[in-house]
Chain A
């Protein structure tokens, strides 16, 4: 079975807030749901499938289904960190293709900025986590885990701090056009390199923002999509792949994209050169470089050269990415960037991106995410979409 062409993204909504001290996480989820349902031209009672991840308060999706008054026949709370919502797109396609639901709602929301979260805090994932006694005392935080992946990539492939900085520079060029972006100022390679070193080799400007907010998607079966008034965004390939420390035989120079990418391309029946726009998860600058390599947009180890000299900037570069400003400049709600990756890809395919960054004739787009950490465990997910 393939999901190719079995489902469409009919609704997409990114919450405009970047700081929401006056709203609960549940309310943010619900506001995102409302936005996506209205974007699709549907009503709440059309939703019969609901997908959410660990950012949704309560048990699985049950509390949010209760809060929103959803009447469901399918529910899925798969959590692969920030890539969850890309996984959910794939799972929604599977559920729709097998007749389990017709209109799938996917939500993400959180308020880490209001709650004082940062990427330099040691965080436990709960009780009974088998690896934590052997990790937590050493001070693993989000930034230094990605930094270790970056350090090894530099050692093995000669990737430089200047090359990493170009990822942020490109994101900032895009964010200047996004009125909702948290950081709209265009920065230079020099600005990145002169920003404070957080964890060698990652500077503050190599790191994504911490923002409140959220987003939601509506995935529907083809018959429904064709009755709606929105441009048709067909899902043609999806794949997911967890990667971990392999009992100690670890290799931090590649991500799970090396596994999910080829499978998604195979299902979609398209090549890297067919992709006109890509949303690439940008928790850190190194994340983008590694995923671009692993997805096959350049040779392994040449990601640094590939992203340098403005190649990722829409309009002038050959590989426009994250035209909303991405997690580096726009938004990283709930510390989870997968949702906004899909949303900007949908905008591009619909021709609804900001005119300054809209890719011409954007008929095929890819969204990819890494949830967790390149430094130990993560879930990778790839979604390829086509404008019909």
Chain B
């Protein structure tokens, strides 16, 4: 038994003010995080204020694009195509919600090394995803 990755229709993100830069960068193949200039903590999803020290001096930084799978679930009965939702712990130390793609989903494991890739939503927005490294 195998569950090969298949493309599926991805709903478009409905952006809030301040989110556009993240998705523009994703369109150029970059995963951006927010980093606090005062406490040096990185956070995700990106905010206009640091959720650790509440400084407003937060700026975009580019993630290396590598990490390990913290947890996942191959979702088999939410629509016609199975998909693998996951949290990946980036090498920067924080975990991001994502999908694991471009592999046999039945081989996905916690602790597995993964690398950044992108898949497009229905309106062409690039979403950061991960595939086995």
Q: What is the interface of chain A, defined by CB distance below 8 A to chain B?
A: 120-122, 124, 127-141, 143-145, 147-152, 155, 196-202, 204, 245-250, 252, 376
Contact = CB atoms under 8 A, between A and B. Distances in A.
B116 interface: no
A132 B76 contact: no
A151 B74 CA distance: 10
B57 to A, nearest CB: 15
Q: For the complex of A and B, list the 3 residue pairs with the smallest distance between their C-beta atoms, beginning with the closest.
A: A248-B94, A133-B13, A147-B73
B67 to A, nearest CB: 11
Contact of B87 (A136, A150, A250): A250
Nearest to B42: A248
A1 to B, nearest CB: 29
A250 to B, nearest CB: 5
Interface in B6-55: 10-16, 19, 22-23, 41-47, 51-52
B72 A151 contact: yes
Contacts of B94: 247-249
B88 to A, nearest CB: 11
B76 A200 contact: yes
B110 A247 contact: no
Contacts of A202: 73
A148 B95 contact: no
B127 A137 contact: yes
24 contacts: A120-B75, A122-B78, A128-B16, A130-B45, A134-B45, A137-B121, A137-B125, A139-B78, A141-B75, A147-B75, A151-B72, A151-B110, A196-B76, A196-B77, A197-B77, A198-B76, A199-B73, A199-B75, A201-B73, A246-B51, A247-B94, A248-B96, A250-B70, A252-B70
Given A122-B11, A131-B45, A140 B71 contact: no
B75 A247 contact: no
B72 A132 contact: no
Contacts of A152: 70-71, 110
Contacts of B74: 199-200
Interface string B61-93: 000000000111111111100010111000001
B131 interface: no
Contacts of A120: 75, 77-79
Contacts of A140: 85, 97
A138 B127 CA distance: 8
A193 B43 CA distance: 38
A251 B2 CA distance: 29
A36 to B, nearest CB: 36
A167 to B, nearest CB: 18
A247 B41 contact: yes
A246 B70 CA distance: 15
Among B47, B85, B110: residue with most chain A CB under 10 A: B85
A247 B44 contact: yes
B16 A248 contact: no
Contacts of B83: 139
Given A143-B78, A249-B93, 15 more contacts: A120-B78, A122-B11, A131-B45, A132-B14, A137-B10, A143-B75, A148-B71, A196-B76, A198-B75, A201-B73, A247-B94, A248-B44, A248-B45, A250-B87, A252-B87
A247 B50 CA distance: 8
Contact of A148 (B22, B78, B86, B121): B86
Contacts of A245: 95
B44 A133 contact: no
Nearest to A244: B51
B99 interface: yes
A209 to B, nearest CB: 16
Contact of B13 (A137, A144, A201): A137
Interface in B87-122: 87, 93-99, 110-111, 121
Given A133-B15, A144-B85, A199 B77 contact: yes
Contacts of A204: 77
B75 A130 contact: no
